[in-house]
Amino acid sequence: QRLAFMARFRADITRLQMEHQFAVDEMLTKVTILRQEFQHLHHYNPIEHVVSRVKTPESMLRKAIRKGIDPDLSVIREQLTDIAGIRITCSFIADTYRILNTLISQDDVRVLEIKDYIAHPKPNGYKSLHAIVSIPIFLSTGPVDVTVELQIRTVAMDFWATLEHKIFYKYDGEVPQPLIDELTDAAAIAQELDERMEQLHSQIHGANGVIDTSGTHLDED
């Protein structure tokens, strides 16, 4: 009986994982379309790179336990909002908002929550736009709404967050104060870099950051 339960649980969690992978695939298609259309219309690509991942069953269960979520799969599906994650890295701050707004204004994308850590950075200096959205995927049994976490940030924010994440895990969350101070300082430098690059960009491409295609324009490459 226990073995039958385990087999069913494994089958169900694999299905949950698959559904989230389909949702990631749907969102990635949307991002690819935006990227190509933008390039075509404005001769400019606001997206530097995109990464995605779906949590493994082990990682889902670990996070559920850490967050005190009942390890029942229907509860995990509802309360673990980052089983499917997509991180979009943009060149400039204005692009992060532009990409987010374009994605969430699509009819089949339902916004569940937005956290603007760019306007309101975390105390450690972490900056990023986070959106929890729900999109339908169409299975043989009918449509299923699946939650996806979007993280959108600039290259400088991503550089900082990646290093901070490594340091956080290296010290198991107990990062020594001098390192925390260094990181906070580095976050301020990353912000300054973002602002200066954005200013340069608008000087070249106009205030809206998009190349004016009515006249001569600079090639992005």
Show which residues are catalytic.
149
Q: CB of residue 122 vs ligand 0O2: minimum separation in angstroms?
A: 5
Q: Which is nearer to ligand 0O2, 43 or 115 (CB)?
A: 115
Q: Which is nearer to ligand 0O2, 8 or 165 (CB)?
A: 165
One of 82, 95, 158, 194 touching ligand 0O2 (CB under 6 A): 82
* Residue 95 interacting with ligand 0O2 (CB under 6 A): no
Q: CB of residue 126 vs ligand 0O2: minimum separation in angstroms?
A: 3
Q: 87 has which bridge partners?
A: 51, 151
* Residue 122 interacting with ligand 0O2 (CB under 6 A): yes
Q: Which is nearer to ligand 0O2, 98 or 130 (CB)?
A: 130
Tokens 């101070």 belong to 181
Q: 154 has which bridge partners?
A: 90
| DSSP, residue by residue, the chain | -HHHHHHHHHHHHHHHHHHHHHHHHHHHHHHHHHHHHHHHHHS---EEEEEEEE--HHHHHHHHHHTT----HHHHHHH-TTSEEEEEEESSHHHHHHHHHHHHTSTT-EEEEEEETTTS--TT----EEEEEEEEEEETTEEEEEEEEEEEEEHHHHHHHHHHHHHHHHTTT---HHHHHHHHHHHHHHHHHHHHHHHHHHHHH-TTSS--TTS------
Q: CB of residue 12 vs ligand 0O2: minimum separation in angstroms?
A: 22
Q: Give the integer Cα–Cα distance in Å for 148 and 192.
A: 31
| Footprint on residues 149-208 left by ligand 0O2 (CB under 6 A) | 161, 164-165
Q: Which is nearer to ligand 0O2, 50 or 202 (CB)?
A: 50
* Residue 79 interacting with ligand 0O2 (CB under 6 A): no
Tokens 């850490």 belong to 66
Q: CB of residue 134 vs ligand 0O2: minimum separation in angstroms?
A: 16
User: Binders of ligand 0O2: how many residues, by CB under 6 A?
Assistant: 9
One of 116, 126, 159, 186 touching ligand 0O2 (CB under 6 A): 126
Q: CB of residue 197 vs ligand 0O2: minimum separation in angstroms?
A: 21
Binding site for ligand 0O2 (CB under 6 A): 82, 115, 122, 124, 126, 130, 161, 164-165
